[in-house]
Structure 1
Amino acid sequence: MPHIDILPDWENLVKKQLKTEDIYAILKKENLEGITVKPFYSSVQKPLVNLPKVEENTHLVASYHESLEEDVFAFLLNENVEGLEEKAVFINNRELAEHISPEDLDQYFSLIDVFDEKEGVINEQLAKELLAKDFKRNIAVDISLHQNAGAAIYQQLGTALAKTKELAEVFGAEIFNKLIFRIAVGGNYFFEMAKIRAFKLVFNQLSKEYGLDDIPYIFAETSLRNKAVTDSENNLIRSTLELASAMIGGADAVFSTNYAVEKNTENSEEISFKQQIVLAYESIINVFEDASNGSYYIEDITQQIADKSWAFFIEIEDAGGYLTLLKQGIIQKKIYDHAVEEQQWVEEGKIKLIGVNLYPKLEVKKSIQDLYTEKDIKPVRWAEMFE
């Protein structure tokens, strides 16, 4: 069938309804990421190839509980548990990692970050200990901290690249396929899909600088940034959408942080995990390699995020590298500036949180200065301003 261009008809209809010739000025939606979003897409300038993931099926990861042993195939552990030979195990504790010596097993993944963000150094002894283990993935590059601290998407991904380069400078290019990237997924549904896809592009680009052609192992967890103590039900909805973004974007493993902020119970932990079960078994979105490929909108913002992330990475490298800028307080200041602007949008209602600044609208109890500091990269929830 011949291609029929519906764009002029669409534009004319919208012009008539909005009573203006300049519809794009009205329909333009502002965002803090500096990403250009069109109100309508009929093509994409640079179509992307299918972006693969490491795991064939996305691991659905649960906090360990003995009642889940028969039904769950991937656990996050903070203490040693025996008899999990057929499970994927994500280790979240240094002491635990020291006592695990698997032989001929590739079930173990380390979620332990070897960067000391406060001191601006790599814990090389810890890294060597982890690399000596026969784990499937040995070293975690954690940028969930940065997302929860208020970093922009391009700052998160640029930071991940810069941390990867610091590790490669110390341990060589062979470190690339030993890394697992811990990423927090926020509430901007399509942007977060594009974030995961964009990271695959820029990580592959960095690997090629070292003569490789690698893709990243991505462990995605739900964000704390947009969750509220007073509104657990809406937290549950938000985290469900975040998990969907992660699976559709092509994460290799997903984990739902407890939606009942500061009120964790065994029941809330079970419900948090079962969000993943519903998405996986009702929607079957955890088995697709690149489910959003071909969506003009997501393709376009994926490329924009990739370009901005790479530019931020180059900016860091040109200024001396991640650790140098961390010691100088420059990384912290860049994240702080974006986080404060984001918090201002929450305070002004530009970013809407139902049950916090909308339906009902709570009173502001803490100032931005009370919540944020230029010196530290620390998690801050938007709703803390109202709690």
Structure 2
Amino acid sequence: MSFIENKLEDWEMLVKKQLKTDYIYEILSKDNLENIIVKPYYQNNSDTKILPKVEESTHLVAEYQDGLDEQAFAFLLNENVEGLDEKAIFINNPDLSEHILTEESNRYCSLIDVFSDDKNAEIKEHLAGELLSKAFERQICIDVSLHQNAGASIIQQLSFALAKSKELVEKFDSEILEKLVFRFAIGSNYFFEIAKIRAFKYLFNQLSKEFEKDLIPYIFAETSFRNKAKNDAENNLIRSTLELASAMIGGADAVFSNDYKIENQTELSKEISFKQQIVLAYESIINVFEDATSGSYFVEDITQQFAEKSWKLFLEIEEKGGYLQFLKSGEIQKMIFEQAVKEQNWVEEGKIKLIGVNLYPKLEKKKSVEELYDFNEIKAVRLAEMFE
């Protein structure tokens, strides 16, 4: 049996006929906050390759609770816990850097960022030194989850992660690249967030090659607070489930679900939040694939766009002195502020829809943009705060 190979023009003629218009791209195209070109349909893109993970399967990380020892392999610790055996441990508290108790049977990674994200920006060398002395698999975290929760674009998040990496190389030499964990918060734009993780793998690998290495980034992905609301907390469960799926499909090495309740959190809500991951992993096995969307024309295309735009912004930051200098000058704060305000305005206008916030029901606005955001500060702001 032979198949007829259709050209792009053939598809265009068919769509024009079905929609009864010659202006199909105007009708089918939609704006997005990233200024990424999203086509209504795609032709075969043969320039694809598998983007590997560090871990064989994505770790499902739980905040430590009594009783979860048998159900979870990986834990996020905010305080010392004794008796854990054959676990992957993610240290989340800077106060533990000196006192964490390590067991030989466990694997340890740090989620402690050594950057101060304010106008007195610096690398905390003492803290970095303590962490580097630990027998962890990965001692230093580059955290851009705050940037996402503050309203930074995907392109900004990726370029900031690269720029922070470059700062560490300049301070500690290129061997530091092998000791990093990258912490990302995953937003609600499902395919864009898959592409974000994939694009960062391209970008970090490219950066490592500048220092004669060929490295894969270790990516710890967690659910965002940006799109969560106090009202109708069950809607947050749906949002975070999609975010976890994006992270696993994109190829994160570890995923963590923050509590779906913004207020009145309980041990049960923490457990439910973690078990979202178990359902996703065990029912769909998406945590075991190395690169599930490789070969998807759409995802490959937007991955490439994110990578190119982020690398360009990274180079611009480097030309102006690097991440810390850009932070001290207030430029990074301004960039995030402008992007965050644009996103908030889209929510207010209804271009971004949040069920139970600006849709079903539509709540009344209670706070202004000026009350929520400060162009001098990188701070987490939930989009729903305007209506709460």
- TM-score with structure 1 length normalisation? 0.97
CA deviation after TM superposition for structure 1 residue 85, in Å: 2.4
In structure 1, the partner of 2:13 is 12
Q: CA deviation at 1:263?
A: 2.3
CA contact (8 A) 1:106 1:134 kept: no
Whichever residue aligns with residue 39 of structure 2, its letter is: K
Check conservation: 1:103, 1:134, Cα contact below 8 A: no
The answer as to whether partners of 1:140 and 1:180 remain within 8 angstroms in 2 is: yes
Displacement after TM superposition at 1:262 (Å): 1.7
1:245 aligns with 2:266: no
- 1:3 and 1:290, CA in 2 relative to 1: closer, same or farther beyond 3 A? farther
Q: Deviations over 1:3-60 (max 9, x none)?
A: 521744543343233321121111111101010000001222x622100010001000
Q: Does structure 2 retain, via aligned residues, the 8 Å contact 1:194–1:305?
A: yes
**CA–CA distance in 2 between the matches of 1:113 and 1:120?**
13
What is the DSSP-based 3-state SS (H/G/I as helix, E as strand, rest coil) of the residue aligned with 2:228? coil
1:70 Cα deviation after fit: 1.2
For 1:105 and 1:172, how far apart are their aligned partners in 2?
30
Cα distance change of structure 1 residues 105 and 314 upon mapping to structure 2, 3 Å threshold: farther
Q: Which range moves more in the overlay, 98-107 or 211-220?
A: 98-107
CA–CA distance in structure 1, aligned partners of residues 342 and 195 of structure 2: 22
TM-superposed deviation, 1:2 = 4.2
Query: Which string of whole-angstrom CA distances, capped at 9 and with x for unpartnered residues, describes residues 300-330 of structure 1?
Result: 0000000011011001001111100111101
Q: Is the 8 A contact 1:101 1:133 kept in 2?
A: no
- Equivalent runs, 1:157-168 vs 2, <5 Å: 157-168=158-169
Q: Does 1:56 align with 2:21?
A: no
Aligned equivalents of 2:105, 2:83: Cα separation in 1:
13
Partner of 1:273: 274
Counterpart AA for 1:356: V
Distance (whole Å) between structure 2 residues aligned to residue 63 and residue 106 of structure 1: 16
Aligned to 1:95: 95
Compared CA separation, residues 3 and 169, structure 1 to 2 (3 A) = farther
Q: Deviations over 1:236-269 (max 9, x none)?
A: 0000000000000000000001111122111111
Gaps of 5+ in 1: none
Report SS of the residue matched to 1:98.
coil
Q: Which moved more, 1:111-120 or 1:5-14?
A: 5-14
Summarize deviations over 1:195-251 as a string: whole Å, max 9, x none. 000000000000000110001000000000000000211110000000000000000
**Alpha-carbon shift at residue 105 of structure 1 (Å):** 5.4
Moved over 4 A (4+): 6-9, 103-106
Alignment of 1:220-369 (within 5 A): 220-369=221-370
Residue 66 (structure 1) shift: 1.3
CA distance in 1, matches of 2:104, 2:313: 40
CA distance in 2, matches of 1:8, 1:47: 21
Does the CA-based 8 Å contact 1:104-1:134 persist in structure 2? Answer: no
Q: 1:105 to 1:316 in 2, by over 3 A?
A: farther
1:22-61 matched pairs, under 5 angstroms: 22-44=23-45, 47-61=47-61
- 2:78 — aligned with what? 78
Aligned length: 386
For 1:47 and 1:349, how far apart are their aligned partners in 2?
37
Contact 2:178 2:215 in 1 (8 A): yes
CA distance in 2, matches of 1:356, 1:106: 43
Q: Which amino acid aligns with 1:238?
A: R
Q: Tell me what 1:207 maps to.
A: 208
Tell me if the contact between 2:97 and 2:127 (Cα under 8 Å) persists in the aligned partners. no
Moved more, 98-107 or 299-308: 98-107
Q: 1:168 to 1:105 in 2, by over 3 A?
A: farther
Aligned partner of 1:79: which letter? Answer: E
SS in 1 for 2:61: strand
Q: Is the 8 A contact 1:85 1:107 kept in 2?
A: no
Query: Would the alpha carbon gap of residues 43 and 262 (structure 1) be closer, same or farther in structure 2, given more than 3 Å must change?
Result: same
- Identity, % of aligned pairs? 68
Provide the residue aligned with 1:191 in structure 2.
192
CA contact (8 A) 2:87 2:105 kept: no
Deviation at 1:104, TM superposition (A): 4.8
SS in 2 for 1:145: helix
What does the per-residue CA deviation read over 1:81-117, in whole Å, with 9 as the maximum and x for residues that have no partner? 0111211110111222211253655611110000011
| 2:382 corresponds to 1:381 | yes
Q: Give the superposed CA RMSD.
A: 1.3
* 2:68 equivalent to 1:68: yes
Q: Is 1:169–2:170 an aligned residue pair? A: yes
3-state SS in 1 of match to 2:344:
helix
